[in-house]
Amino acid sequence: MTETSPTPHVAIRFPVEGRRLPADHGYALYSAITRHLPDLHGARWLAVELISGVPWREGMIALPTRGGALYLRAPAHAYAALLPLAGKRLNIDGHPLRLGIPSARPLTPAASLYARVVTIKHHMEPEPFLDAARRQLAALGINATLDLPHDDEGRFRRRVLKIKDRTIIGFSLAAHDLSDDDSIRLQTLGLGGRRAMGCGIFNPIALVHSKERPA
């Protein structure tokens, strides 16, 4: 690997209590977090994962009655700065969400990683998006095989996000054939933009499945 190794990061898990959320809640979640911790606004080191749930009705998800969680990714030295979120009540577009006591774990290497949504400016069609993702990956000094996963109907998993009054198009993205070092690097640095709003965050595929399985 030719690039300097990034600062060690951890995955931080906050248990959550809540009933429902908008399926597209990345911007609202980030806004709610920064209302409690204003110093996080614009923090480039912070990644905020979307909260997993099951479809409830159009545009909404239901949270599991137990086992639901908010996952943040941050440098290990920044963990203490996030601890004040414990016990806080977040308002996510009118839907209350209470955070529990967090725990942290080091990132784990895996040969295959998955991001629920990646956004790359000006690339809203599958093939140009994939080409741009490959260029970004090469610029990070990471070797991997990228592909666009399909849904049950054989279509690319295109994601439509709303950020204020803007519509953002992204895609789910998988990375395979990663070395251990490159796997940690991709989980640390991500790909594309808007990582504080749930985009460009990679997890081992087995871990993604466990997060999305209702408890």
Q: What pLDDT, on a 0 to 100 scale, did the predictor assign at position 214?
A: 38
Q: What pLDDT, on a 0 to 100 scale, did the predictor assign at position 39?
A: 94
Taking only the tens place, the pLDDT of each residue in 68-126 is 999 999 999 999 999 999 999 999 999 999 999 999 999 999 999 999 999 999 898 89
- Alpha-carbon distance 145 to 51, whole Å? 27
* Residues contacting residue 83 through CB under 8 Å, at least 6 positions apart: 102
CATH of 9-106, one of 3.40.50.410, 3.30.300.30, 3.30.360.10, 3.30.70.1890: 3.30.70.1890
**C-alpha distance from residue 105 to each of 13, 34, 73, 79 (Å):** 8, 23, 10, 11
CATH of 113-212, one of 3.30.70, 3.30.870, 3.40.50, 2.40.30: 3.30.70
Amino acid at 185: R
Intervals of CATH 3.30.70.1890 along the chain: 9-106
How many residues are there in the chain?
215
